[in-house]
Chain A
């Protein structure tokens, strides 16, 4: 089985800064993969390259068997890549349901069907009661949820989650975790960038650790957290020796 997503030797330079150097990762169908790493590791850059915000300086990105390296974001969405934003970007002057309809219109050209799809997604994500509220009136945790709902409405094959569980209360985070599982069980592959290790590690099937723009370690979450290289990257040399 070929991977759903693959990056091959991806480089991204911003002037003199190398944000990603020779990053090759792959995500298989039906997986939940966590992309982790300390601040400035290049997670967000890689995430944006996959989402199509900007093309990489070098290397290629393959999605579902096709080269999408230079494809604009809107077209990637039509191909089946959905994403959320780390800093939520709701359509503030629109209601929750209208926000989701925008996403649903990718695969439903008839308004009535798009609306029905949007309601379905709101049920799925637990936002149905808030359908007619303005997005600007939602509390932060709900806004995160709306980001996910909107992306799901585009019926993606791959869902990119950018720190959706960060900054939530433990209860909210647990509901978030349940939602991500539910999404995967519905047949969507998930690639998530995350900071909060203790929440992410039990959730993901595989973790990819980035450090200084490179893939440091990749593997089962349990192995990854014990890896001396990872501990060193997060906590410094002293602790790595102890491990």
Chain B
């Protein structure tokens, strides 16, 4: 196994549990690949690690790998793959030869860089690199950051930049809409960060380092519109414009590598079949190394299981029947996870007008990163009135996720049919205001509203992941979905618990008429 990330580790566990002898090589000092910098809660279903933070998924996989007897070599870059499944691995100051009956390459991807004037100035870097700096090394990538690209990677890093204390000056996308999940965008937008769609970076300016970014509007064919240049004061420009598999090792092994638009845009990938096997028999690849997917780590884990099951069957460790069942299960989950409006077939091609359920699409969410108040009425779970405390779910796109349903002990929340369906509220069930749905929604798109318990006021409960945590009785400002100040707000409670896994549920008192507007709290004194 080359790469101890989610794909490599899950494949290793699967193969080892089937009775195979497995060695995993990783060039990094720690295992887990990109998982250990993923501090957000994952989307998906419960059996696919939904609600669990990435680094915790990494820990769980490692523990399983250890229990299954997988040997993990760290600081061990694979230098080359040769004929007859031979690999040469750098281990300390030695080059060690190994041979495997099968090889799985799960060595990940690198960030795509798009050249623009000044892109080689210090201060321009990949969003993933910035995430590594922050979350692995505790180093801020900069103070005033411009984020280029609004796919999920960009949006996730964007929130983490805010959490780390950076100023996020804007999020750009050359496309006319936000690329990633609306719920990710909304987390950023409600803190006041502007989304600039149909906008591209033109130039990074500065004396030896980034000091300014020049941006410009583009039309629907991505042609620049003259006269729309704007300068932004920034010291860091983060590029989140896609991943490109590190196909070098596959190419070195003689596997066919080609340009393909399987991922929705032209990218260089290793040719594989449905079992992740390359054109060289016995060499497989999975995870980001195989191709970029919307739910990278979750797909990677499933692909690892598919490849390992296939290998285990070919090598006689499991029966064809067992293998078929395992693979079918993984493929069904993959199918579900890759459905919805962010599926490959929709990516960059279709601008849907309605959801699978027939609700109109929120244009505001696509263009500005937040749902406009007047659009809320289109979505039953976001716009109903009820007595007492009740959940309001502002999750209005078809994305593969359903932990809200599982978290509600009272069965208030439904996700019927496919996992990509939009959650609904069963109003016949009574909400008790526990807040577990609020804290555990990976999209942070569930709020508890109570318009009837305090005269003239409403209690609005929001998910809150910033430090320092506000305290009961603290005064501040209620911000709307765009981050604009709306009214004074008073913190009524800040709930935390192990079941909430570090997402606090902050309940604030706001004037009744703002109950449907206020979705974020800004403490007095400026700090969020």
- The answer to whether A and B interact is no
- A interface list, Cβ under 8 A from B: none
